[in-house]
Structure 1
C-alpha cells in the first residue's frame, strides 16, 4: 500500500479512516542484538517534551511540524502523561453520557467543535546502536487521535487509544538532531466508541520509544503452548514471521524449563513464515496457583552462527476449553474470583507506573483475587507480563464502548447505536480486536478475549468474534452486551451478565444452562459496599457458575488543591459539566492505593482454602484446582475472652478439590468465652508476600459467655426537682428529668458526658442507600430520634441500685413508644437498656441505638468484637472475633463522599480512653452490640459531600447499636439491601450495656 504523505483533518470525523501508514499489529515480544539480553535495540523517548495547546480545530495548524519552526514559547510537558493532569486541559468525568451532551447537538461520526488540540515536539539524536538499520517509532498509548511528523515529513495517523501504534521513520531520519512533531486531538469519530465509564483524559499517556531491526528481524511471534489429552504433556507450536534478508540464515530454538535447563532445542532454516512444533513429556502446566513459565529463546543466526537477533519469550503450557458448557483449565473446572481493573493513579490518571502495577498485583494475590478483566481496554503490556509471572487469569478486553449511543437514562434506546450493523464502523472494530489479539496472544494469563463493553450488539461486533475465533481457537470469546439483544447471542461463548441478583443467577443455573455463567461485573463497590458478597460466592456449588468480577478495583479520584490543602476529588469537583459526580468511586482500594475495609470480606470469601474449626479439630476444604496445601502451615489458637491463651503450629496437607478433617488437641478453658481459631499462613516467601503471611482463617465459637449486669453495693440517691443524683465512692451520676436521660457521668472527678445520649434510628446514607431511594423510603427514621419526646419518667429503687426509665414517643405516623432505662449501682456501674417494641406497617429501620457526644480527648478505642476493619450485618464473615485497637480518626474510612463508616459487629466490650489511659469501659449485657467511635456525628457525616467539608474535630462520637441494616452491594442505583439483612420495623430490638470506669 502506498504511503500517504499529507494529513487531512477530515479523517477525524471519518470512522473508516482510523490509521494511515501504521505498521501492522504484532506481538509484544522483546528483542536484542545479542544473547546477553542487555543490548536492546530500543531508544526511550519518554521525558520532557515541548507542547502547545489550542482550544479547537479552528485555531490549530500544522506549522509546528516544520523543523525550522521556532518553538521557544512552547511549554514543557512530561511524557507519558495526560493533558488534564499536567494542567493543559480541564478534567471531566462522565459515565454513559457523552462529554459534549447538552453543549453540542451531535450524532456519530461528527466531532465536537470544542476539540482540544495539543502539539507536541521532541528532538532527539538517534542512538548509535540504532544506526544503519530500519528504525520505527512506537506509541504505546495516545488518546484519542494523532498525526506524526519527522523532520517535516508526514509519518502517519492513528486512533485506538490503548494499543500500540508503530510507524517507520527510516527514510526521514537525519544525522544529528531529529525533529519529531505529534499533534493529538481530544475527539475523533473513535470517541463515539470510547465512551467508557472514566475520566476523559487524553494526550500521550503511555511510553514512546524508537526501535531498530537488524538485517533479519522476527516481526511477529505466535506461540501456542497447550497440553495433550493427558493434560501432562506439552504441545509447542511456534509460528514466526521474519522480515529482512533471510538467505543463508537459520533460527535456533531453545526451550528452557524453570531451572533454566534445556527441555528442547532445534535449528530451522530461516523463512518468512517459520513454523516449529514439538511435543514435550511431563511439562509443568501454568495456572494462577502454579504460574510455571518456560523461556523460549529464539536466536536468528547468520551463516557463521553469529547472533543477529535474540528473543527471549516467557510461555506457559496450559489448556483452556469449554466442555459440557463448563469452562475448564487443565482439565479442572475454573472459578474466577475476579475484579475489574481500570489503570488509575490520583496524580497521573491512566499514565500509571510499573511501581503501581507491582503494588496492584501484590494486593490481588494477598487478597485471594485470581482474575482481572481489563476494563474496558487493553492495559499496558507490562501488566500482562506480571500476570503471567505472578499468576492472574485475564479477560482481555478490546477498546470498545458506546454506552451513550444506546442507553439513555438507564433505558435501552438503540435508534442510533454505533457500531451496530453499520458497515462504515466494522473495519475499526475489527482493527481494535486484532490489535489486542496480536499484541497479547502469547500471554498464558489471557484466557478469554472480550469484545468490549456495553456497546449493544450487531453485525460489527459479531464480525469481531468471528475474527478472534478464526485467529485463536484456544481461547473463548466474551461479550455481555448480547443480554440486551438476544438476536446476537452467538457472539459470546459465555453467559455474562452485569449486576444480576443472586436469585436471578440461580434461576439461570437451575434451568438447563447452555453456557457457562460469569458476572463480568457484580458487587458494585461504590463507597461503603460489598455487602452480601457471600450470597454470590455460595453459588459456586453450581457447576456452571464460574465466578465473577467485582466492579471495581480502584477508585478513580484525582488530587485537587482546595484552600491550600490536597483532597481526593471526583466528578464535578473541577466544574466539569456534564458530570456523573462521585460515581467514579467504586474501588476495593482508594485512589491513593490505601486498602479499603471492603477488601477484608473479599479476601476471606475469595480464599481457595476454607477452614472450619470445631470442638475436635478443623475441616479443611481445598478448592484449589491443582495445588495441595503443602505450601502453607497452619496455626491453631484458643481465644479466651478474645485473648490468645494457647496456640500450636501444624502441617496439614489436603489435596486439591478435596476436604479433610484433622483432629487438634484444643484445650477448653473452664471460664470465659472460648473461640477456636485456625489460620493458614505461607510456609515460604513468594513474589507477593513473605513467610508467615496469613492467607485465610476460620473460627468457631465454642462457648458463648456474655455476662449480665448485677448490681452491688448501695448508692446514695438524691431525687431532686429536676435531676436524680446517684453517687458513691469516686463517682457521681445525674439523670435529668427534663433532658430525658443522663447529663453527667463523673469518675474520679472526670466528666464523660457532654450531652444526653440521643436515640438514633438513622445512619449516614451510603452511596447504595442514595442509589436505591433509601432516603425516600425511610425518611421518617431520620428525625425519629432527634425529635423524640419524653412522655413518662419512672424512678424505681432496686436492690443495690436505682433505676430511672424514660419513655419516648417517636414522631412517626403511628404511635411508637421507646424506653431507655438507666440502672446505677453503688460501684458506679451504669446499665443502660434501650427498647424498641416493634410496630407493624412501618418501613424497616436503618439502625437502632444511642449516640453519645463525648469529650474530644476520648479517641482511643480497644474492643472485643469483630475486626480489625469495619464490618456490617451483610459484610462480616471476613471479620474475626478478637481484641483490636484503633482510634476515632482511624475508624473513619475516607470514602469519597462521607457516609456510614466505622461499625464493628458482635462487640462484647470496649474501652474508651484518652492518651493518658483514663477512660471508661462498656460491656454488653447478655447480648453483643454494634459500635463505632468517630470524630463526627451521624448528621455531620450525612451532610458532607467531601471529607474536607467535615468540620474541625470538637468532640468524639460513640454509637452503640442493637443492630444496623446491611450496606448492600448488588448495585448502586436501585438494588436494595437483601431483605434478610434488614431490621424489620415490626420486630422488637434491644440494646443493653454497662458503663464503668477503668479498674
Structure 2
C-alpha cells in the first residue's frame, strides 16, 4: 500500500477492497454451507468487486419498491419471520498482513453490508452483524496466522433487520461500502468526543474533549496524560490544555477566547491536536480532529444557530450512482456537495439512513447543515396504499424491537457525534410512532443535549408528540402549514419532505419559501429529493438507458416512482434547479433604472464578500454594464445607486435590468464569477407616436381562391390555406417549405408524473380527444382594399361540447409576415384545460432555436421565478428534458421571439408583443408521441420539429405526485375565454447572424 509506505495513520490500515471470490445462492438451502472452512477450495468461484452490490454485478435482479415490503404478495410472513426466498452471497478474500499490522491487535471494519452477515477467519467464527448503514468491526487477532489468511463473509439479503429497512429505494444486498483491516497503538483512544461550544454572547468559545482509552496495564490509563493544542485554520495556537488519565478516562477543557464560528455560510474549522503519553512520558498516539464552534438551540419556540433564527433550505439525499447503486464514490460525494452549494441549498437530510463518513466531513468543510437520520423505516407495516392502518406496526411499543432500534441510534450517534455540520438527529422515517421510537429520541437527548431531535411520524399519532422537538410534516400544503403556524404553536415547523420533484415538477415552490418572512416559526424544508434513483440498463438492441422499477422483471415494484431528483441519475442538472437556486438564495436583489435594492437574509455573511454586477439589456441586447460591490450587513437592507448612461436606455424598446452577486475568487465549491444571487427589473421606453403605428406593408398580394384551396402570394413567398384540411397547409419562402403538418388547436399536453398523480387522464381525457379530432365549421377570406393584407379565418367545433368554439385567423401581409390569432371561446361544464395552444410540424432540418423569452431553462406558469428575460439558443434535440418517463417538457414562458433555423441560418421567426407574450415549446416529438412512451427508447426516430404556441399552459405543480392539484391560479378554467396572437416571418442567414 502506498499509504503504508509513506507511514503515518494510513500505514495502520490495510484495504481489502477489490476482487473477492464469490458464490451466489437463491436461498439459504442452496448456499455453499461449508465454504468458510480453511480447506474449502473456492478457487473456481467467480470474482466480484467489493465494494459493490451483488445485483448490479450480474447476480440476481435489483428490485425497486417504495412503501410495501419487497416480498408483499409473494410470501405470507409477518415480523420477525424471514421470507424463505432469501438470496445469500458467499464472499472469500485471501490476504496477508502488511508489516505495519503484524505488531499489534488487528481489527476488521465493514463500513456497510446489506442487510446481515456472518464472518469467519481461517475457518473460525468471528461474528455476526446487521444494520446496513453503520460500520461493524470485529477483532481478528486470535484467528490470524502467518502467511495467507482466508476471510469468509456470508451475506443475507433478508433478515430480521430487513423489517426495519423498508425505505423508498432499490433493494440490493452485498458488501457495498469499503472493508479494511486496521491496528491501533498499545494505548489507544477508543472514544473521543469534542464539544466546541459558544458562550451566551455567541462569540467566545470553550472546548471540551472527553477521552476513553483502550490499552494495557502500562498504558496512559495508569498514570499517563493527554495534551491538547487547539489551532486555527492558519495553524496558529489558540488554546492548550493537559489532563491525566484516571481509570482510562480523561477530560480536557480550554477557553478558546473569541472564535470564528461555524455555519453553512462561514464553515470555519479548527484543528484539535491531541497527544497521548504514557507514564514514562513516551508519546503513544497523536490525533487530529477538526471542530467547529457553534451553538444550536431551541429558544422562544424558534431554532437558532449561534443566536440567529435559521431557515433550512434543504434537500433529501439518497446515496446513489446510476451504475453503482448506493456504493457511491468520493467523486460522487464531491460533485453532490458542490452542486448543492452552487444552487443555494444549505441543508441535507440523509434520507433515510446514515451516509458514508466522508459525506459528513465534506459537509463540515463546505458548509451544509445536516439532519442525520438513523436507519429505520417500517413504512409497509402501518401504511398500505396511502391509508394509515397500523394493525401490525413495528417497532411500535413492542419491547422485543427496542434493542435493535436503540442499537441503530447508538451506532449513528457514536460514529457521527463530532461533526459540527450535524444539527439534528432523526429517529428514522415513516415508522408510525410508539414507545420504542420515543425511547430512541430520549437517548439522543440524554447522550447529546447540544442537538435537537426530529421525527415526523408522530403526526399520525399525537400520543407520542414528545418524540420530536419540532413539528415536522411531509407534503403539507401551504394552507395547512399556515393553519398550524397561525395557532401560535409551541414547536417550530419544518417540512422534512416537500416539493415532490418527480419528473417535471417543483411548481409552486414559491408558496413555501414566501412563508419564511411571514412566520418566524416556519423554518424551511427539504425537497424530495436530490437524485433520480435510475439504473443504467440496456434495451433489447443493446442501447443504454435509465431503468426504473419493473425494468428488470422485478415484481412487486413501484415502477418509476424512484425518479424524484432535482438532478438526473447521471448527475446532470435538471431544469428544476433553476427555480430552486433562485428561491433558496439568501440575498434578494431588486434592480431598477436607479439602482439595486439589496435585502441580505444571510445570518452571518456580509454582501461585500461578493462582487455586484448590473447589466442592462434592450430587447435582449446588452447596452450597459457596471461592476462594483455593496456592503450590506446580514439581516439588513440597503439601496445601491447605479447610474445608467444616458444613451444606454434612450432608444424605444423593452429593457431588463439584471443584477447579480458573484464570487470574487474561487471557492472550494465554485469558481470565481459564479452567481450566488440574482434579480431582475424591467421597464419600457415607448416609441414616439409617429413611430409606434404599424406601417402598412409595401407591395400587393395576389389572392387566388380555388375550389379547395386559398392561395395568398407575394414577392418571394406563398401561403396556402386548405378548406378541406381546415388550416394553413403551406408557408413557403422562396423554395423553402415551412409547414409539414398544419397548425391545429391543441388542448392536451403529455401528462407529467404529477398530472398522472391527479388522474388528469381520467378527469380531463376529453381534451385529449378534442386535440385529435375537431370539425372545421367555417372558412372565410377577407382581403384589404389596398391589396396589402388578406385574412383567412377558420372556425372549429368539438364533440366534447356544443358550446366550445375556436377561431384561428391568419392575416398575410405583403411583406411576407403572417399574423396568427387564436380565440378560445370557453365552455361551461368541462374540466380545466391543460393547455390552449396551436401546434404544427416543420422539417427536422430546422433543428436550432434562438429565444428572446424567459429562460434559459424550461419554465412554466408556476415555475418561472428563477427564469430571466434574455436571448438564449439551443438545438431542438436539447429542448425536451430527459425525464425518466417521457412527458411534457421544454416549455418557455414570456416568449417575445423564437427563431427556428437550419444549418444555413434559414428558417422561421415567431414573434409576440412584450405586452402579451406567449408560451412555446419546440420538440422533436408531439404531445401524443410523448404521452405513449414509457421510456425514451420508445419514442420514434426524429422526422419533424414540432412547434407548439400556447396562450397559456397550466403549471406543473409539485406539492406531491399522488393527488395534489396544480394551484388554482396556475390552472386554466375551461369556461374562461382566452385569446393570443403571434406573427410568423422568414429568417435568412443574414438575419440569423445579426440576431
Which residue of the partner structure matches residue 761 of structure 1?
Answer: 747
**Residues 803/527 of structure 1: CA separation in 2 closer, same or farther (3 Å cut):** same
Kept in 2: contact 1:922–1:995 (CA 8 A): yes
Give yes or no for the alignment of 1:228 onto 2:216.
Answer: no
Which residue of the partner structure matches residue 14 of structure 2?
Answer: 43
| Correspondent of 1:615 among 582, 590, 593 | 593
Instruction: State how 1:422-821 maps to structure 2 within 5 Å.
Output: 422-541=398-517, 542-562=519-539, 563-667=541-645, 668-703=649-684, 711-713=696-698, 714-798=700-784, 799=786, 800-821=788-809
Which residue of the partner structure matches residue 21 of structure 1?
Answer: none
Which residue of the partner structure matches residue 198 of structure 1?
Answer: 169
Q: What whole-Å deviation, never above 9, does each CA across 1:361-390 have from its counterpart, x for those lacking one?
A: 000010000000000000000000000000
Q: Equivalents in 2 of 1:704, 1:157: separation in Å?
A: 76
| Correspondent of 2:370 among 394, 397, 403 | 394
Give yes or no for the alignment of 1:150 onto 2:150.
Answer: no
| Correspondent of 2:45 among 71, 74, 78 | 74
1:992, CA displacement in angstroms?
0.8
Secondary structure at the counterpart of residue 772 of structure 2: coil
Secondary structure at the counterpart of residue 443 of structure 2: helix
Which residue of the partner structure matches residue 284 of structure 1?
Answer: 260
Give yes or no for the alignment of 1:316 onto 2:292.
Answer: yes
Kept in 2: contact 1:709–1:994 (CA 8 A): no
Kept in 1: contact 2:880–2:890 (CA 8 A): yes
1:614, CA displacement in angstroms?
2.0
Instruction: State how 1:10-29 maps to structure 2 within 5 Å.
Output: none
Q: What whole-Å deviation, never above 9, does each CA across 1:956-983 have from its counterpart, x for those lacking one?
A: 1111111100000000000000001011
Secondary structure at the counterpart of residue 886 of structure 2: coil
Q: Equivalents in 2 of 1:444, 1:844: separation in Å?
A: 50
Q: What whole-Å deviation, never above 9, does each CA across 1:543-576 have from its counterpart, x for those lacking one?
A: 0000000000000000001111000000000110
1:811, CA displacement in angstroms?
2.0
Which residue of the partner structure matches residue 268 of structure 1?
Answer: 243
Higher mean C-alpha displacement, 535-544 vs 773-782: 773-782
Q: What whole-Å deviation, never above 9, does each CA across 1:809-856 have from its counterpart, x for those lacking one?
A: 022134211100110011111111111022233211101111111101
Secondary structure at the counterpart of residue 508 of structure 1: helix
Which residue of the partner structure matches residue 185 of structure 1?
Answer: 156
Q: Equivalents in 2 of 1:283, 1:33: separation in Å?
A: 36
Kept in 2: contact 1:631–1:684 (CA 8 A): no
Q: What whole-Å deviation, never above 9, does each CA across 1:860-890 have from its counterpart, x for those lacking one?
A: 0001001111000000010100000011110
Kept in 2: contact 1:34–1:310 (CA 8 A): no
Kept in 2: contact 1:494–1:518 (CA 8 A): yes
Q: Equivalents in 2 of 1:684, 1:61: separation in Å?
A: 59
Q: Equivalents in 2 of 1:905, 1:452: separation in Å?
A: 41
**Residues 556/178 of structure 1: CA separation in 2 closer, same or farther (3 Å cut):** same
Kept in 2: contact 1:716–1:826 (CA 8 A): no
Secondary structure at the counterpart of residue 785 of structure 1: helix
1:37, CA displacement in angstroms?
4.7
Instruction: State how 1:41-190 maps to structure 2 within 5 Å.
Output: 41-190=12-161
Instruction: State how 1:344-423 maps to structure 2 within 5 Å.
Output: 344-423=320-399
Q: Equivalents in 1 of 2:18, 2:667: separation in Å?
A: 34
Kept in 1: contact 2:310–2:523 (CA 8 A): yes
| Correspondent of 1:966 among 930, 952, 955 | 955
Which residue of the partner structure matches residue 3 of structure 1?
Answer: none
Secondary structure at the counterpart of residue 243 of structure 2: strand
Q: Equivalents in 2 of 1:275, 1:709: separation in Å?
A: 84
Q: Equivalents in 2 of 1:641, 1:305: separation in Å?
A: 77
1:991, CA displacement in angstroms?
2.1
1:303, CA displacement in angstroms?
5.0
Kept in 2: contact 1:33–1:310 (CA 8 A): no
Q: Equivalents in 1 of 2:609, 2:924: separation in Å?
A: 43
Unaligned runs of 5+ in 1: 1-31
1:35, CA displacement in angstroms?
12
Unaligned runs of 5+ in 2: none
Secondary structure at the counterpart of residue 801 of structure 2: coil
Which residue of the partner structure matches residue 869 of structure 2?
Answer: 881
Kept in 2: contact 1:640–1:669 (CA 8 A): no
1:301, CA displacement in angstroms?
2.5
Kept in 1: contact 2:4–2:11 (CA 8 A): yes
Kept in 2: contact 1:785–1:810 (CA 8 A): no
Q: Equivalents in 1 of 2:877, 2:128: separation in Å?
A: 52
Runs of 4 or more consecutive aligned structure 1 residues displaced over 3 Å after TM superposition: 32-40, 302-307, 704-711
Kept in 2: contact 1:34–1:309 (CA 8 A): no
Count matched residues. Answer: 968
TM-score by length of 1: 0.95
Q: Equivalents in 2 of 1:141, 1:813: separation in Å?
A: 61
1:305, CA displacement in angstroms?
4.6
1:633, CA displacement in angstroms?
0.5
Secondary structure at the counterpart of residue 630 of structure 1: helix
Kept in 2: contact 1:406–1:414 (CA 8 A): yes
Give yes or no for the alignment of 1:898 onto 2:880.
Answer: no
Q: What whole-Å deviation, never above 9, does each CA across 1:238-274 have from its counterpart, x for those lacking one?
A: 1011110223532121111011111112332234111
Q: Equivalents in 2 of 1:110, 1:686: separation in Å?
A: 52
Which residue of the partner structure matches residue 931 of structure 2?
Answer: 942
Secondary structure at the counterpart of residue 128 of structure 2: strand
Q: Equivalents in 1 of 2:11, 2:364: separation in Å?
A: 22
Q: Equivalents in 1 of 2:188, 2:38: separation in Å?
A: 31
1:307, CA displacement in angstroms?
3.2
Kept in 1: contact 2:242–2:252 (CA 8 A): no
Q: Equivalents in 1 of 2:306, 2:11: separation in Å?
A: 36
Kept in 2: contact 1:887–1:933 (CA 8 A): no
Kept in 2: contact 1:838–1:989 (CA 8 A): yes
Give yes or no for the alignment of 1:251 onto 2:236.
Answer: no
Which residue of the partner structure matches residue 811 of structure 2?
Answer: 823
Secondary structure at the counterpart of residue 505 of structure 1: helix
Kept in 2: contact 1:33–1:308 (CA 8 A): no
Q: Equivalents in 2 of 1:811, 1:897: separation in Å?
A: 31
